[in-house]
Chain A
C-alpha cells in the first residue's frame, strides 16, 4: 500500500519537498490496521489530526490491504469542518 504523509510527517521521507507528494510504499501483513501502520512509522496517535483511507475519513482501527491509499495529517494541520465528514470505522 501507499502512505501519503503531510506536514511534519513528511520528514520521515528523505529528500522530501512540500510541493510534491510525499509517499512511502509499505508492505501490509494480514490483520494490518491503520494503527499498526502508524506504529511502524513511529507516528503516535496523539500526533495525528486526520486520517483518510482511500479518500474516506477513517479511524485508526480500520483494516488496510495491499493497494490501499492511506493519508495521514498531523495535529498542526487539524483544520477541517469534520462534523460534515462521515467517519469510517472497522
Chain B
C-alpha cells in the first residue's frame, strides 16, 4: 500500500483518500503542512472560518526506527498571529499515522451544526467520522481516558480541550504520550481553536507494529540511522543533560546568563529560579517517585521528558519543560514548583499552550488582576479558562488580547504570539529569530545551525559579526529542514557538533526518499520553504514592520545587564532579504 492523503470535509462529513503527488511525496512535517496551507488556503481568510484548513503531517522519517523521529506537524492559518503556522509535537500519534500510510490529513470546511463535535477514527484501511458524544466539553485527561476505554489501550490520540472547543486563540493540539497523558502539545499559535472550528474533538489512531513505511534505499537509511544514533548517544547534551535533567536544566543556566525573563519581562533574573529548576525535578523524581529520562514516544533515545508527582507521590503532570517552568514560574514570579506543575497540568487539561498561558498570566498580573507570585490565584484564574467565564475567555485568548483587556503596555509578543524563555535584551541573537520568524516569537524557529559545520560564522560571538543576518537565516533554514524530517529538534545539539551525526541525518532522509540531498540542499530547501511561508504572510497582510520586537524592549533596560534591544531594523530586514 502506498502513502495517501486523507481529505476530511467537515461540511458534508465526507472522507476522501487521495494519491500523493510527486511534489508532496518528498515533503513531510512542516514543509508539507506549510505547502498545503500555501497551496489551498486563502491567506486573507478568517482563521476560524470555513476556508481555513487544518493539516496534520508526520515527518519524512516518522514511522521508521530512526531515533527520536516521531514528530507530528500541525499547520493552518493561525488565529493568534494571522499568519501561517506550524507547531509540532511528539507522543504516540505521528508514528501510528505514518505506519498506516497516511502522508497527511487535510481537514476542511466547517460543521453545519455549530457546537457539534466529531471524532475521526482511523485504523488500517478505515477512516470514520463519529459523533464525539460524551467527549464533548471534557478536559484532555478525561478525554484520553475515555478514548482508551472505548478504542483500546495504546491508541494514539490527537485532541483538543475546552479551550479549543470554545475557539480560544491560545488553544493547542494535544498528542497523547505512552502513558496516555495529554502533555505532548503542538501548542503554539492557536491551532486547537482551528480544530475546534472544524468541529473535530479528536483523531483516534489504532495501529500496532512496524506498519508499512516505505524506505527507498534501506542500506543507506540503516547507515544513517546508526551514525545518528551513535552521535545522540555520545553527545553530552543528548546522552547526559537532557535525559538527566530535561530541558528545565536551563532555568538555572538562563538565570545565570541574566536572560531568564522574570515578572512579565521586567528582569533577566529570578530570585526563586533554583526552586523551579530541572535540578529540583530530578530530585523529586527520586524522592516522590516521578520520572526523568522519559521518552515522549517509542524510539526516542534522548528522553528529555519527565513525570512530576504530587508530594504524596501520586501522578500530577508530564512533562514540565523548561519553557513551561519558566512561563508559569519565573515570568509570574511563582517559585513553588508544585503550583507551577499544577498550572502546567491545567494547561494540558484545558488545552492551552504553556508559553502563551504563562505570558498571559504575566500581563494579567501586571494589569492587577491577581498579584505577581500568587500561585494559588493563578491556578484559580487559569481554571476559569476551562469554564468559559468572561475572565477565562480573556485569558484563553492569549497575551496580546489580555494586555488590551487590562491596559498593559509591556506586551512580550511578536506577530501576536508570546515570547519564549530567552530574553532578547540579554540574548540578542535569539531576538533576531523572534522578530523575523514566520511563526511569531518562537525559539524553535531557529537555533540549530551548525555554525562550524556549515561554515557560517563560526566565531566566538557569531551574532556580533557582519554576517549575523545571514546567520540568523541559516538558523531558520536548517530548523525548517529538521521540522520537515520529523526528527525532534533536540537532535540538533548533537548534529550541531558532530559532522557524522549530521551526515547520518541526511542519509536517513535520502534513504527514505531515494534522493541525493547534500548539506547545501538542506539550506536551499529550507530557504525555499521559508520563502513560501513568508509569501503567505505577506499576502495575509504582514510587512517588515511586523518583523520587530515589542517597543518596550527598545527603551526599557533589562537588569542585570541593563541593556535595551539595539539590533537595527536594517539588520532585521536583511535576514530574509540580504
Beta-carbon contacts under 8 Å, B247-267 to A? 247, 249-250, 252-253, 256-258
A21 within 8 A of B: yes
Q: How far is the CA of A7 from the CA of B460 in the complex (A)?
A: 25
Beta-carbon contacts under 8 Å, A1-15 to B? 4, 6-7
Beta-carbon contacts under 8 Å, A29-55 to B? 49-50, 52, 55
Q: How far is the CA of A6 from the CA of B254 in the complex (A)?
A: 13
Q: How far is the CA of A78 from the CA of B250 in the complex (A)?
A: 9
Contact size range, A: 20 to 34
Is B249's CB under 8 angstroms from A83's CB?
A: no
B401 within 8 A of A: no
List the B side residues contacting A55 at CB < 8 Å. 256-258, 268-269, 426, 560-561
Q: How far is the CA of A86 from the CA of B241 in the complex (A)?
A: 22
Contact among B250, B277, B430 with A84 in the assembled complex (CB-CB below 8 Å): B430
List the A side residues contacting B256 at CB < 8 Å. 4, 50, 52, 55, 71, 73
List the A side residues contacting B252 at CB < 8 Å. 6, 73, 77
B24 within 8 A of A: no
Q: How far is the CA of A55 from the CA of B429 in the complex (A)?
A: 16
Q: How far is the CA of A85 from the CA of B427 in the complex (A)?
A: 6
Of B461-469, B499-507, B517-525, B569-577, the segment with at least 4 beta carbons within 8 Å of chain A is: B461-469
Is B447's CB under 8 angstroms from A78's CB?
A: no
B236 within 8 A of A: yes
Q: How far is the CA of A49 from the CA of B237 in the complex (A)?
A: 10
Closest A residue, CB atoms, query B335: A19
B275 within 8 A of A: yes
Is A83's CB under 8 angstroms from B451's CB?
A: yes
Nearest-Cβ distance from residue B219 to partner chain A, whole angstroms: 34
List the A side residues contacting B282 at CB < 8 Å. 18
Nearest-Cβ distance from residue B72 to partner chain A, whole angstroms: 23
Q: How far is the CA of A49 from the CA of B249 in the complex (A)?
A: 12
Q: How far is the CA of A2 from the CA of B112 in the complex (A)?
A: 66
Beta-carbon contacts under 8 Å, B455-486 to A? 457, 460-464, 475
Is A87's CB under 8 angstroms from B461's CB?
A: yes
Q: How far is the CA of A88 from the CA of B457 in the complex (A)?
A: 17
Q: How far is the CA of A75 from the CA of B242 in the complex (A)?
A: 11
Q: How far is the CA of A73 from the CA of B560 in the complex (A)?
A: 20
Q: Is the interface of B mostly helix, strand, loop or mixed?
A: helix
Q: In the complex, how many residues of chain B place their beta carbon closer than 8 angstroms to a beta carbon of chain A?
A: 46
List the B side residues contacting A52 at CB < 8 Å. 256-257
Decide: A76 near B244, CB < 8 A? Known: A18-B274, A55-B256.
yes
Closest A residue, CB atoms, query B431: A84
Is A89's CB under 8 angstroms from B460's CB?
A: yes
Closest B residue, CB atoms, query A83: B451
Q: How far is the CA of A7 from the CA of B493 in the complex (A)?
A: 20
B223 within 8 A of A: no
B449 within 8 A of A: yes
Decide: A84 near B236, CB < 8 A? Known: A19-B275, A78-B241.
no
Q: 1/0 contact trace for B437-461 toward A, CB 8 Å? A: 0000001000101010000010011
Nearest-Cβ distance from residue B446 to partner chain A, whole angstroms: 9
List the A side residues contacting B426 at CB < 8 Å. 55
Contact among B236, B280, B496, B560 with A49 in the assembled complex (CB-CB below 8 Å): B236
A20 within 8 A of B: yes
Q: How far is the CA of A63 from the CA of B488 in the complex (A)?
A: 39
Is A7's CB under 8 angstroms from B279's CB?
A: yes
Q: How far is the CA of A79 from the CA of B240 in the complex (A)?
A: 9
List the A side residues contacting B560 at CB < 8 Å. 55
Q: How far is the CA of A80 from the CA of B283 in the complex (A)?
A: 21
B529 within 8 A of A: no
Is A19's CB under 8 angstroms from B280's CB?
A: yes
Is B279's CB under 8 angstroms from A6's CB?
A: yes
List the B side residues contacting A4 at CB < 8 Å. 256
Q: How far is the CA of A80 from the CA of B260 in the complex (A)?
A: 13
List the A side residues contacting B463 at CB < 8 Å. 83-84, 86
Which of A4, A57, A76, A87 has most chain B Cβ within 10 Å?
Answer: A76
Q: How far is the CA of A18 from the CA of B284 in the complex (A)?
A: 10
Q: How far is the CA of A43 from the CA of B275 in the complex (A)?
A: 25
Is A77's CB under 8 angstroms from B257's CB?
A: no
Q: How far is the CA of A57 from the CA of B258 in the complex (A)?
A: 10
Is B283's CB under 8 angstroms from A18's CB?
A: yes
Which of A50, A79, A89 has most chain B Cβ within 10 Å?
Answer: A79
Is B245's CB under 8 angstroms from A76's CB?
A: yes
Q: 1/0 contact trace for B265-298 toward A, CB 8 Å? A: 0001100001101111011000000000000000
Known contacts A55-B258, A87-B461; 18 further A-B pairs (Cβ under 8 A): A6-B252, A18-B282, A19-B274, A19-B279, A50-B256, A55-B269, A55-B426, A71-B256, A78-B236, A79-B242, A79-B250, A79-B253, A79-B493, A83-B449, A83-B451, A84-B428, A86-B460, A89-B460
Task: State the B residues within 8 Å of A (CB).
Answer: 236-237, 240-242, 244-245, 247, 249-250, 252-253, 256-258, 268-269, 274-275, 277-280, 282-283, 422, 426-430, 443, 447, 449, 451, 457, 460-464, 475, 493, 496, 560-561
